[in-house]
């Protein structure tokens, strides 16, 4: 019998996402009946990013804080793979811990969530938002509203909202839908209104170099892999993450890819959005081309 241990953050959403991968492996093993039975268990742990909640991520180290402990468990052999929200993954991934597969993409859009029983925003209370990317775009959508940082897992944020601390929250549709909380969504923002975070809605499965991951065959979604790789190439060129309000969103339609991007120049205080279209097989290259173009246009080079 083979045991597969999945490393996961301990939040309800993270565990649910790991259980989705667990179910795939178990179902595949049952269907193939390969003779060697697989048992799958989830090892949960609290990451540094889950512990430090009194400061915004750009002040304490960015996206890497959500993966450090999971990476260590993989390297030490305590787990066989990790499941992450791709949007929480650093752009630089250790060569010994490669990304193995991306899930089919859930709804990638950002959404507005109002307190339970409330029909419209209260202008006297702030909007709760966890990223500079969203904050920047919200100022255009709601110029009259104050935007205030909010940290913590999804349930914690919703509790603070319902207790009256905020007039509304800006969250990812994917997490709400996976937790069965779609009914809390008051408004969906189109990708033109608010460009999503790179990788939003995609689960990333990370493993250890040299290990056999045949039990994951068929899990990786082709369109999500092309789109996610293109988005990460865009952000990687701009050295963006939680500390920089960079956004990228790619849509794959057969052999074509369409990429939207946002770039903010700290030097000038200006920000621009742009788009590029081309062959899906060139997605990674196109992401970099768009990043170079927007950076040049924004900084006047």
Residue with tokens 């920089």: 244
The pair of three-digit structure tokens given for residue 27, joined into one six-digit string: 């179902």
User: What is the C-alpha separation between 301 and 291, in angstroms, rounded?
Assistant: 13
Helix (H, G, I), strand (E, B), or coil: what is residue 86? Answer: helix
255 catalytic, yes or no? Answer: no
Helix (H, G, I), strand (E, B), or coil: what is residue 19? Answer: helix
Closest CA to 181 of 85, 283, 89, 111: 111
Q: How many CB atoms lie within 10 A of CB 167?
A: 23
Helix (H, G, I), strand (E, B), or coil: what is residue 77? Answer: coil
Q: Which of 54, 58, 76, 88 is catalytic?
A: 88
Distances (CA, A) of 229 to 245, 252, 288: 19, 12, 11
User: What is the C-alpha separation between 222 and 4, in angstroms, rounded?
Assistant: 24
**Complete DSSP assignment for 229-262:** HHHHHHHHHTT-STTS--EEEEEEETTEEEEEEE
User: What is the C-alpha separation between 126 and 107, in angstroms, rounded?
Assistant: 26
Active-site amino acid positions? 88
């Amino acid at each position: 019998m083979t045991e597969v241990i999945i490393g996961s953050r301990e939040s309800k959403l993270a565990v649910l996402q790991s259980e989705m991968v667990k179910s795939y492996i178990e179902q595949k093993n049952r269907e193939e009946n390969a003779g060697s039975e697989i048992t799958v268990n989830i090892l949960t742990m609290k990451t540094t990013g889950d512990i430090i909640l009194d400061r915004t991520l750009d002040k304490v180290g960015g996206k890497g804080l959500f993966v450090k402990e999971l990476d260590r468990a993989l390297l030490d052999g305590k787990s066989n793979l990790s499941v992450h929200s791709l949007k929480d993954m650093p752009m630089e991934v250790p060569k010994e811990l490669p990304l193995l597969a991306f899930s089919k993409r859930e709804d990638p859009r950002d959404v507005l969530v109002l307190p339970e029983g409330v029909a419209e925003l209260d202008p006297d209370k702030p909007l709760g938002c966890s990223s500079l990317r969203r904050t920047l775009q919200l100022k255009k959508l709601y110029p009259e509203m104050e935007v205030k940082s909010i940290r913590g897992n999804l349930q914690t944020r919703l509790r603070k909202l319902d207790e009256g601390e905020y007039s509304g929250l800006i969250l990812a549709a994917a997490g709400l839908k996976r937790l069965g909380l779609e009914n809390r969504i008051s408004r969906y923002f189109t990708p033109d209104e608010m460009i999503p975070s790179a990788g939003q809605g995609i689960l990333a499965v990370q493993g250890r170099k040299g290990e056999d991951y045949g039990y994951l065959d068929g899990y990786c979604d082709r369109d999500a892999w092309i789109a996610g790789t293109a988005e990460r190439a865009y952000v990687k060129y701009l050295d963006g993450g939680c500390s920089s309000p960079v956004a990228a969103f790619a849509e794959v339609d057969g052999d074509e890819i369409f990429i939207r991007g946002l770039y903010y120049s700290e030097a000038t205080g200006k920000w621009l959005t742009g788009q590029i279209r081309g062959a899906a097989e060139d997605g990674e290259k196109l992401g970099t081309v768009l990043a170079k173009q927007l950076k040049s246009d924004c900084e006047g080079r």
